Amino acid sequence: MNDRADRGQAAVELALALPVVLLALLAVVQVVVVAGEQVAAIHAAREAARAASVAGDPVAAAVAAAPGFEVSASVTGDAVTVAASRRLATDVPLVGRLVRDLVVRAEATMRLEPP
């Protein structure tokens, strides 16, 4: 083998592979951000449902308990169901331009507690 012909091969391979690896890494970061926002939506829906289940005015209590989320609440029989949603901007560099903005949404139902 000719050592002169192989010089710089590793640098060329790195230059070709690095953009793909970085894009994959940024995609993983975006997935983690979306997963974190989904967990926050679930938490907000549960908190709002808990607040609505013990309040005299369930709808107002649900809206107040989840700031930063669009909240809807409905009372059916002896249960209150709360849905919390929020638009998530996909703003991770490079990947954010490939994926449009998402809406994270969660729903929780709790039994109404007597006053």
Tell me, what's the pLDDT at 105?
A: 96
Report pLDDT digits (tens) over 20-33.
Answer: 898 888 888 888 98
Q: What pLDDT score was predicted for residue 71?
A: 94
Distance, C-alpha 90 to centroid of its chain: 10
Domain ranges of the chain: 3-111
Q: What is the pTM of this model?
A: 0.79
Which one-letter amino acid corresponds to residue 30?
Q
Q: Which residues of the chain have pLDDT under 70?
A: 1-5, 115
User: Which of 45, 29, 26, 20 is CA-nearest to residue 104?
Assistant: 45
Q: How far apart are CA 9 and CA 15, in angstroms?
A: 10
